[in-house]
Amino acid sequence: MSEDFNALEKAIIEIEPDKAETLAKQIVDSNADPKKLVTTISKALEIVGKKFQNEEYYLPELVMAGEISKSILAIAEPILKSEEQGPKVSIVVGTVQGDLHDLGKNIFVTFASSAGFNVIDLGNDVSVDRFIEAVKGEKARILGLSCLLTATDKELSKVIEALKKENIREKVMVIIGGAAITEELVKEVGGDAFAPDAITGLEQIKEWL
């Protein structure tokens, strides 16, 4: 089993879509731990990201690695989903404006929906106004922001400032995740919690309720 995970990690890093899909199917059929699958994808993508940074890989490889991960997550949906009965609390989620990364956010959406939350997924490249409109319209108690680019991290404080301006800041807990995020940055922009991964994020939200 752990060989399958290692082989899957290697197939993503080496951009081998067919191999990755076959291995993902094998892993899903064996009813493996969904957390381990998410960690494997994240680890592989981190290495792909480093290769991109070192100019060993270029944009096509980055795109392909993202596409492979998307199809693995689609294959893995049955094991990522659980039938947990959770609180019918609304969570508005989205990736900030200017940022098109959505794989990590989508993983969180899958986990939170299957834990019984009412998740309103605004997608990626979401403007401040759309976040505010959705939080107000859904009377959401939780706002989840995803941000992977340092170039777009200023959007985080813009969203939080807008919540204050609308007098709804104290009604909403703001949790922030993504590769560009650190605990310090969350404090700096005035968020409530940093989510290093989707599962820790979900645990934090459950603690708040």
Q: Can you give the binding site for ligand B12, defined by CB under 6 A?
A: 38, 41-42, 45-46, 48-50, 52-53, 59, 62-63, 65-66, 93, 98-105, 107-108, 144, 146, 148-151, 175, 177-180, 195, 197-198, 201
CB of 122 to ligand B12, least distance (A): 11
* Closer residue to ligand B12 in complex, CB, 12/23: 12
* Closer residue to ligand B12 in complex, CB, 79/179: 179
CB of 3 to ligand B12, least distance (A): 22
Three-point CA angle 193, 132, 164, nearest 5° = 65
Q: Rounded to an integer, what distance in angstroms lies between the CA atom of residue 189 and that of residue 209?
A: 23
> Which residue's C-beta sits nearest to ligand B12?
104
CB of 95 to ligand B12, least distance (A): 7
CB of 143 to ligand B12, least distance (A): 8
Q: What angle, rounded to 10 degrees, do the helices at 128-138 and 154-165 form?
A: 40
From 79, 81, 80, 104, select the one nearest 93 (Cα to Cα): 104
Spatial CB neighbours of 19, under 8 Å, sequence gap ≥ 6: 7, 11
Kind plus residue range of the DSSP H or E element containing 142: strand 142-146
CB of 110 to ligand B12, least distance (A): 10
Q: Rounded to an integer, what distance in angstroms lies between the CA atom of residue 102 and that of residue 27?
A: 23
